[in-house]
Amino acid sequence: MKGNVGFKPISEPWTEIELENGTRLKLRVIVTKVSDSGTVGPDGAPVYNLTWQGVMAPVEVAEKSIVSASAAEIGGLGRRVHRPVD
């Protein structure tokens, strides 16, 4: 491995989804580290390893629902979001 590569975020957009019950969630991926693997892919382009963090936030939560996501479900370091059932 060659090591870390400096980078700057150009854009970190939110993705917004709506669940069947009307709950709306916003999700975003934030890249925290980029490193050069020291290898190249079949097309000759360098292969990079990324470390990233997933962030989730409720926009609108339907009544009597629970919104929760673990870090494993998000795929990185995540934030748990809960709304208890009334």
pLDDT digits (tens, 9 = 90+) for 35-85: 999 999 999 999 999 999 999 888 877 776 555 555 445 444 444 444 333
pLDDT confidence of residue 68: 58
Please state the rounded mean pLDDT for residues 17-43.
91
Contact 14, 26 (CB under 8 A): yes
In a 10 Å sphere around its CB, with 0-12 CB exposed, 13-18 middle and 19+ buried, how is residue 56 labelled?
buried
Confidence of residue 6 (pLDDT cuts 50, 70, 90): very high
d(CA 59, CA 76): 21
The H-assigned helical ranges of the chain are 71-74
Contact 42, 17 (CB under 8 A): no
pLDDT confidence of residue 64: 61
Task: State yes or no: pLDDT of 9 exceeds 70.
Answer: yes
**What's the pTM value of the predicted model, to 2 decimals?**
0.60
pLDDT confidence of residue 57: 85
